[in-house]
Chains A and B, each alone.
Chain A
């Protein structure tokens, strides 16, 4: 038997032998411990993986420290060549927070008056001393003014940045482009018509392309302004249109204003768009339409003669301004601008057909185009459109239209007879806009020849731009008296409506001078020279060459013998058959 050392026996713990249930309890405890450890390890492992992932890849997107106050809060407006008409940029505005002002207010006032000379000192004083928390002192200050104010180091004067709209060309095309109000919304013109498109976030980087050509616009506006000043007229309007596509290349209305500082101009005379909103009786320019209508309907023959004696209708008497001694043929009616001849043609036309043609030419609706300022024409009332109205409408009195209406109708007349409504948006090259046929090609060609003769031999002689084969018609109409029936003999509206080059008309130009009071007062002496100057300036720009091979005078062979040639013909190549 081993004689166990009692110490050794005490040092070695005896092997534990547990009864069955305690063994399972221990196993269970060990299992739970293992599970717990595994869970904790898994948690730590997860955290470690997340840390690795964050270290290698980007975390959640961070908030941008300086929110990009994008100046492109409004899309640009450009002309057809990409020249900017309106653009947005960030401007500085000076704001005063009176509660934060720490410096001496009087000194601040003196400094600000020195830095901002255009701001009235009372406004600055009111902003610095007012009771509220925030007030603008001046908006749209120049960058160097802003820098000077920042150097003052006054915490109560903060420089806010706001998106501003800049119209670099100031008053050019002001009525067309419009302006934006103080809250940045468009008011008037294209700015208002395309408000949704201009503020669309997806398209802020794409400018709105207008059909306007700014060089043509400048030429038109400056010539109209020169004549307006010379004649001391109260207003002027002009339109240049592409005859084949209906695009408006220039829309002028004078007097104009600066859309950068519109101020409180709404309601002032300069604010009205005389080219689209103002309607005027445009006088003899209408005769071309009546002749075209009569020729189209086959109601007159070219060699038919119209006596020039007066017509008595109702209480009125229709006479010519300068009656000729002989009966006039159809071309001569247009060349000499005979009211009587045109009235006779209109009489044959009748009300139904005249109204239908006017409607087809767009002269019974609102002004075409995308502008919100579209004027309605004034036509004889449906219940009072009798024979006298038909006759007077025939030579352009009794119907009041805007210059844009007239341009659109002339474009229809000269481009072969297809009516396309005017548009202010650029038409992509090669795209053919749909149109309605109003006159036949033959009628259009004949009237083109007559319009050329009206410039060569008729009242529009001063509109003849050398080499560019201009055709058109003058129109002098007395202004309607305010509120009373009848006309004001002392005040005229002088218009010239024409197109060039007449052998293949590409552009229609309308010039209108409202109430020329100094010097001459007839369209042939007031509006026609403007037309000639404008054509001389814009023809090279628009690529109309004066002596290109094949370009020549329009074919007036059909009108031979029907008119008296008064002016010597310019030396150009004869018409190619």
Chain B
């Protein structure tokens, strides 16, 4: 029957009309391209995620290592500032004594007794003032001894009214050198406002500079309990 015989070309045209006018191989090509695109996108996504995860793990490892290092350094610090060592330093080098009951001021007016009178340098020190360093005699007021280096950091703990001039023999501030014997301290102990006091002219210039630097670096402060 004629209706059953369709030439092949006609059949292809029929097929083409059914698919909207494009040949069949374009559809297959589009499908393949689509699959490739999805696959590459997914793969790149997962690769990026894996890279981020690796970074996170690396950071965590670094964190742990740093924490361990911090702990080790902390341990070293605690050992270096252990109390028996501080006691030994005090016994052998600094020679500071605890604040005595008389050094507590009952009222702020008492602080005035520590100051030097404006009239002259010859004012004798108040009788109950005792330097924080043991074995140090309070010299008579007419003989001011030349000032020495300040042992300031330890002096802050030593007395309730920390005179910044708890001075003692040179050579022991930095530590590590042979401690020189203690020389008599300056008299009278400077008041709390000593930071603005002009330095004595008898100081050699480099010592005066160092004093100034130390006083700037360690300002006197009020004690806590």
Interface on A for B, CB 8 Å cutoff? 2, 4, 8, 11-12, 51-52, 54-55, 65-66, 68, 71, 84, 87, 89-90, 143, 166, 168-172, 214-215, 217-218, 222, 465-468, 536-537, 539-543, 545-547, 549
Contact = CB atoms under 8 A, between A and B. Distances in A.
Contact of A71 (B71, B99, B101): B71
A51 B42 contact: yes
Contacts of B102: 466-467, 546
Contacts of B98: 536-537, 540
Contact of A90 (B1, B45, B72, B160): B72
Given A12-B1, A536-B98, A540-B99, A215 B42 contact: no
B81 to A, nearest CB: 8
Nearest to B45: A55
Interface size class of B (residues with CB under 8 A): 20 to 34
A89 B75 contact: yes
A16 to B, nearest CB: 14
Given A215-B83, A466-B102, A168 B75 contact: yes
A66 B57 CA distance: 10
Nearest to A142: B76
Given A71-B68, A218-B87, A65 B57 contact: yes
A545 B83 contact: no
A89 B76 CA distance: 11
Contact of B101 (A12, A214, A543, A547): A547
Given A467-B104, A546-B101, A547-B106, 11 more contacts: A8-B4, A11-B5, A12-B1, A55-B49, A65-B61, A71-B68, A87-B71, A168-B82, A170-B82, A537-B98, A547-B101
Contacts of A218: 83-84, 86-87
Interface string B83-101: 1101100000000001111
Contact of B83 (A8, A11, A166, A172): A172
A214 B85 CA distance: 13
Interface string B52-85: 0000010001001000100110110011001110
A258 to B, nearest CB: 10
B1 A4 contact: yes
A549 B107 CA distance: 10
B102 to A, nearest CB: 7
B84 A172 contact: yes
A546 B102 CA distance: 8
B62 to A, nearest CB: 11
B225 interface: yes
Contact of A547 (B42, B78, B104): B104
Contacts of A217: 83
Contacts of A465: 101
17 contacts: A4-B1, A12-B5, A54-B46, A55-B45, A65-B61, A68-B64, A87-B71, A87-B78, A168-B78, A170-B84, A171-B84, A214-B83, A218-B84, A465-B101, A467-B104, A468-B101, A543-B225
A466 B101 contact: yes
B46 to A, nearest CB: 5
A52 B1 CA distance: 55
A84 B79 CA distance: 10
Nearest to B223: A540
A166 B75 contact: yes
Contacts of A51: 42
Nearest to B46: A55
Given A166-B79, A169-B82, A540-B225, A8 B5 contact: yes
A170 B88 CA distance: 13
B87 to A, nearest CB: 5
A172 B72 contact: no
Interface in B138-187: 160
B99 A168 contact: no
A539 B75 CA distance: 30
B125 to A, nearest CB: 20
Contacts of A89: 68, 71-72, 75
Interface hub of A55, A65, A217, A541 (most chain B Cβ within 10 A): A55
Interface string B10-53: 00000000000000000000000000000000100110010000
A540 B160 contact: yes
Nearest to B2: A8
Given A68-B64, A540-B98, A143 B72 contact: yes
Contacts of B68: 71, 89-90
A66 B101 contact: no
Contacts of B100: 466-467, 536
A68 B79 CA distance: 25
Contacts of B64: 66, 68
A12 B84 contact: no
A465 B102 CA distance: 11
Given A55-B49, A90-B68, A546 B104 contact: yes
Contacts of B75: 87, 89, 166, 168
Contacts of A166: 75, 78-79
Contacts of A547: 101, 104, 106
B78 A84 contact: yes
B159 to A, nearest CB: 10
Given A55-B49, A90-B68, A467 B83 contact: no
Contacts of B5: 8, 11-12
Interface hub of B5, B71, B82, B225 (most chain A Cβ within 10 A): B82
Contacts of B86: 218
A170 B187 CA distance: 40
B49 to A, nearest CB: 7
B101 A169 contact: no
Nearest to B90: A222
Interface hub of A4, A11, A214, A545 (most chain B Cβ within 10 A): A545
B42 A55 contact: yes
A466 B128 CA distance: 14
Contact of A545 (B1, B45, B74, B104): B104
A541 B98 CA distance: 10
Given A4-B1, A55-B49, A222 B104 contact: no
A545 B106 CA distance: 10
B42 A222 contact: no
Nearest to B78: A168
A63 to B, nearest CB: 11
A173 B134 CA distance: 27
B199 to A, nearest CB: 31
Interface hub of A12, A543, A549 (most chain B Cβ within 10 A): A12
A367 B84 CA distance: 28
Contacts of A171: 84
Contact of B1 (A2, A537, A543): A2
A54 B45 CA distance: 11
Contacts of B106: 547, 549
Interface hub of B1, B72, B83, B87 (most chain A Cβ within 10 A): B83
